Amino acid sequence: MNVSVIGAGYVGLVSALGFCKMNNNVICVDKKIEKITKLNRGIPTLYEEGLEELLKECLQSRNIMFTDDIRIAVEKSDVIFITVGTPTLENWEVDLSQLNEVIREICKYIKSYKVIVNKSTVPVGTQKYIKQLLVDKGVNEENFDVVSNPEFLREGKAIYDFLNADRIVIGLDSERARKIMEKLYKPFNIEIIFTTPETAELIKYASNAFLATKISFINEVANLCDKVGADIEVISYAMGLDKRISPEFLKAGIGFGGSCFPKDTKALVKIAEKYGCNFKIVKSAIEVNNNQRILPVKILLNYYKKLEGKVITVLGLTFKPDTDDIREAPSLYIIRRLLDMKAVVKCYDPKASDEIKKIFPDINCYPNIYDSLEGSSCAIICTEWKEISSMNLEKAKLKMKEPIIIDGRNALDLNKVRDSGIIYFSIGRKRQNLKL
């Protein structure tokens, strides 16, 4: 089929390549010309497992093109996917300005029937809103259907998730569009849930908010573990063996970050509010996370009382390993607090040194983990990168001024920590192993 994807961010680029891999002709549009130039040359614009190889494979097949010309995309496609950013505003509402802009552009070029599919995470009612916008702009109702098709891919595993999703959710109100979407997705051999647009839109928020709540729940249990001397890892394992609970998303730490959970939890609270519902449980999940992500600073303050002039190393900046994404990462909140308290911050991250310098130009990033620990009075682990969890603790201890590690991701092996004699704090792990 002829497919176009508008917006070459995470979801857009991965979807474009995924549809190409599934033997469709794809046009991928982005208004940033430097992005287009890179992609047409086979240079990935984001770090993602398998992306470079798939990009090259797709370009070689000649079934994909990247362009900034939305007109070609609209004219040559049967199905147009919209995959633009929908960030959160200050008041927790969803910013639909990029989506509005794309719809306005699409309107100019629709001459024959198109299925317009929204893949961006949007508030309930957006499918109806897009339909109305198209009609208001003078597009003939015969010439389009609007479909909601939320995406559930995880960063770092995005290509795998796109091609092997647990489910495909499609919200629509037209038989004609249903046949086309069925044809497009049938080769994926994944269960498709056809439902109303409102249900599809809400499935995305409900799924992400549930997972975020699960993380906040286990983090609260971990905090209790620290008080009573219980072990969160045994608790998570035992809970996870109950099939009704499942072992996924029970890893305690300094909370969730990234481009989805923080944004989607707030949006769901706001959407619920709009319809007179007080979504208490999600509000609490957000509050727990806000506290959890700065827990290492509280532990540190409790230990040192004041941080002025202390050299503190932040190990790992991204919101999780295997990505270069630092959006809403707990590390950002920790660094900001440390700087506010006049600590000297040093950092190590295998992928995000350049990004962090854009936000905190005055902190020093090191390409080597041990250099970042030189003269440090504490290391805070914010991301469980392999390089960090497998670091040589004896070597680390020798470099540090005071050998204190606050492990915000429970990443280090407890036996190795005990043998190294490092002063160690973690999130809810058994205390009797530790020299405090």
Q: Which residues are catalytic?
A: 260
Sheet holding 311-315, edge to edge: 364-366, 344-348, 311-315, 378-381, 404-407, 423-425
Stretch of 39-47, 249-257, 273-281, 392-400 contacting ligand UDX, by CB under 6 A: 249-257
Tell me the CA end-to-end span of the chain in Å, nearest whole number. Answer: 62
Of these, 96, 250, 282, 373, which contacts ligand UDX (CB under 6 A)? 250
Stretch of 255-263, 273-281, 306-314, 399-407 contacting ligand UDX, by CB under 6 A: 255-263
- Residue among 374, 296, 300 nearest 331 (CA): 296
Stretch of 34-42, 126-134, 254-262, 353-361 contacting ligand UDX, by CB under 6 A: 254-262
Write out the two tokens for 319.
């919101």
Place of tokens 């300094």: 254
As measured in angstroms, the least distance from the Cβ of 191 to ligand UDX is 16
Of these, 320, 337, 346, 351, which contacts ligand UDX (CB under 6 A)? 320
Stretch of 26-34, 133-141, 177-185, 245-253 contacting ligand UDX, by CB under 6 A: 245-253
253 sits near ligand UDX (criterion: CB under 6 A): yes
As measured in angstroms, the least distance from the Cβ of 270 to ligand UDX is 18
Residues 112-171 that bind ligand UDX (CB under 6 A): 151-155
As measured in angstroms, the least distance from the Cβ of 151 to ligand UDX is 6
Burial of 353: CB neighbours in 10 Å, binned 0-12, 13-18, 19+: middle
As measured in angstroms, the least distance from the Cβ of 360 to ligand UDX is 19
Beta-ladder partners of 275: none
- Which CB atom, from 155 or from 407, has the smaller least distance to ligand UDX? 155
Of these, 208, 376, 389, 426, which contacts ligand UDX (CB under 6 A)? 208
- The 3-state secondary structure of 240-292 reads HHCCCCCCCCCCCCCCCCCCCHHHHHHHHHHHHHHCCCCCHHHHHHHHHHHHH
Give the 3-state secondary structure of residue 434.
coil
Of these, 256, 348, 385, 424, which contacts ligand UDX (CB under 6 A)? 256
64 sits near ligand UDX (criterion: CB under 6 A): no
As measured in angstroms, the least distance from the Cβ of 323 to ligand UDX is 7
Contact 427, 410 (CB under 8 A): yes
Write out the two tokens for 4.
């176009």
- Which CB atom, from 320 or from 351, has the smaller least distance to ligand UDX? 320
> Looking at this protein, which amino acid is placed at residue 160?
Y
Query: What's the Cα-to-Cα distance from 209 to each of 48, 214, 284, 376, rounded to whole Å?
Result: 24, 9, 11, 37
Handedness of CA 324, 325, 329, 331 (dihedral sign): positive
- Which CB atom, from 255 or from 350, has the smaller least distance to ligand UDX? 255
Task: Write out the residues near ligand UDX by the rule CB under 6 A.
Answer: 151-155, 208, 211, 215, 249-251, 253, 255-261, 319-320
